[in-house]
């Protein structure tokens, strides 16, 4: 029996950050945990970021991941949303201190999980469901995206389309 590999995926956002924890053990994928970290709009942004940081640290401490995948801020039509997402991503990177971290663009996730860089969100979610042998497509979307990110990390660890671009 080989030592299991565990990855946490984060889909960053100030209001909602999705997370997914996936384990690879004995050639079997298992979704260990998933959900969202929510922050309320009526509290100061610095406090919202602190909540996100604490929650991410708790997840990392609880699951002792081999590595962490965080979605890259790649494109946004709204500059304000992009900036807040980037702030959330920065806080997640701080929480990951001491653990290998990889960033993936949405296109990279689509290509790795669905085999096609222009796959729809529904196609990616269907593949996440299939790869993790889930009874239904994971909801909400932020959690499904985070599970896909964790799968990307583990696929890369296993040598599927490896990259040497890590954040440390």
Residue partners of 14: CB distance under 8 A and separation at least 6? 39, 45, 48, 49, 52, 84, 85, 87, 88
Predicted model pTM: 0.91
Q: Does 25 or 165 have the greater pLDDT score?
A: 25
Angstrom distance (rounded) from CA 45 to CA 161: 38
Residue 165, pLDDT score? 44
Could you give all domains of the chain from N- to C-terminal order, each with its CATH number? 5-157 (3.30.420.10)
Given 11, 23, 55, 87, the catalytic residue: 11
Determine whether 11 is an active site residue.
yes
Determine whether 141 is an active site residue.
no
Given 55, 71, 72, 156, the catalytic residue: 71
Determine whether 142 is an active site residue.
yes
Residue 65, pLDDT score? 97
Given 23, 55, 72, 142, the catalytic residue: 142
Averaged pLDDT score across all residues of the chain: 91
Please compute the mean of the pLDDT values over residues 27-43 and round it to a whole number.
95
Residue 102, pLDDT score? 97
Asked if the model's pLDDT at residue 163 lies above 70, the reply is no
Please compute the mean of the pLDDT values over residues 47-58 and round it to a whole number.
98
């Amino acid at each position: 029996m080989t030592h299991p590999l565990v990855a946490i995926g984060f889909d960053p956002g100030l209001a909602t950050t999705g997370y997914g924890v996936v384990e690879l053990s004995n050639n079997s994928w298992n979704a260990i945990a998933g959900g969202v970290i929510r922050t309320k709009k009526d509290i100061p942004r610095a406090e919202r970021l602190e909540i996100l940081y604490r929650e991410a640290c708790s997840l990392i401490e609880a699951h002792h991941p081999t590595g962490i995948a965080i979605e890259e801020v790649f494109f946004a039509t709204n500059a304000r949303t992009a900036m807040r997402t980037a702030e959330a991503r920065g806080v997640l990177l701080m929480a990951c201190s001491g653990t290998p971290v990889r960033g993936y663009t949405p296109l990279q996730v689509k290509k790795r999980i669905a085999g096609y860089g222009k796959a729809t969100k529904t196609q990616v979610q269907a593949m996440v469901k299939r790869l993790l042998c889930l009874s239904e497509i994971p909801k909400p979307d932020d959690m499904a995206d985070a599970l896909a990110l964790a799968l990307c990390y583990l696929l890369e660890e296993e040598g599927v389309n490896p990259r040497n671009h890590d954040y440390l």
